[in-house]
Amino acid sequence: MEHWLLPFIVFEQDTMLKALLKIDENRQGFVIVVDKTDTLLGVLTDGDIRRAILKNHETNDSIADIYTKNAKFVHVTAGFETVTELFKNQAIKFLPIVDRNGKLKNIITKSQMHTLLLQDIHASLSYNFFLLDTSIIDHEIFQRPWGFYKTTVLNDYYQAKVISVKPGGQLSLQSHNRREEHWIVVHGIGNVQIDQSLVSVTCGSSVFIPKGAKHRLTNTSDKETLVLTEVQIGDYLGEDDIVRYEDIYGRA
């Protein structure tokens, strides 16, 4: 069995206390129940244990009667299409991955699946998904004085965002040394300054921002939010690749 699975493994004869200690160790809220041959028997969550205690079970009781024996799982040879379909069920937060003999080979959580998609990582179901930094999902929405942006894809060669500019909001006049940007307006009205030119934009407008060009986006409506999709392409996509020249919020 892969070493990264050990904090998730319990046996049917183990106590609820031991299962809780494992859950505390892995910090994922669940464990996988296997037999001595590593064959999948079922799953157990911290919620299952909480409900058992409310029914007067003791922490020294066996988990044999409280774990879920008909848990959903996927085979290691399956594609991510199967995983995606199963994760459409809101009740499924994680999936054991087994070989053709039913032996546990891996685990994938829904947050790990989202992280793979967000970072455009290509992997098989044998990949160690616990190497992923799933916190990127929790912090992908960033507040700014003019509104917010949400990262939808981030990897080494491009980044995609949804940018929402509140009525009257304005991004700083800025440039980037290491990336170009492609914008498509999906809602609202505004104008875009690129170097010395100024163009009006509405729903469906597309704008190309060359590397090094000074540019600024303004929502010219006093009622409607301006929303656009942005794709950044370059050899570096960090937020510190911003040179600000003017800013109505005092950040220049």
Domain 3-136 and domain 140-246 have a common topology: no
d(CA 48, CA 36): 22
Residue 21 pLDDT grade (very low, low, confident, very high; cuts 50, 70, 90): very high
Q: Is the pLDDT of residue 90 over 80?
A: yes
Q: What average pLDDT score do residues 67-80 get?
A: 94
Percent of the chain with pLDDT over 90: 86
pLDDT at 119: 80
Instruction: Give the pLDDT band (50/70/90) at residue 205.
Output: very high
Residue 130 has pLDDT above 70, yes or no: yes
Lowest-pLDDT range of 17-21, 105-109, 157-161: 157-161
pLDDT at 97: 98
Q: What CA–CA distance (Å, rounded) separates 16 from 62?
A: 6
> Would you say residue 235 has pLDDT above 80?
yes
pLDDT reported for residue 139: 62
Helix (H) or strand (E) holding 141: strand 141-144
Mean pLDDT is lowest, of 112-116, 117-121, 186-190, for 117-121
For the chain, which residues make up each domain, given as ranges? Answer: 3-136, 140-246
Structural fold of domain 3-136: CBS-domain (3.10.580)
Read out DSSP for 157-208?
SEEEEEEEE-TT-BPPEEE-SSEEEEEEEEES-EEEEETTEEEEE-TT-EEE
pLDDT-derived band at 137, boundaries 50, 70, 90: confident
Question: What does the alpha-carbon distance between residue 73 and residue 51 come to, in Å, rounded to a whole number?
Answer: 23
Q: What CATH architecture applies to the domain 140-246?
A: Sandwich (2.60)
Q: Is the pLDDT of residue 150 over 70?
A: yes
pLDDT for the residue 42 = 98
pLDDT at 20 (0 to 100): 97
Amino acid making up residue 74: V
The candidate with the shortest Cα–Cα distance to 192, out of 226, 167, 161, is 226
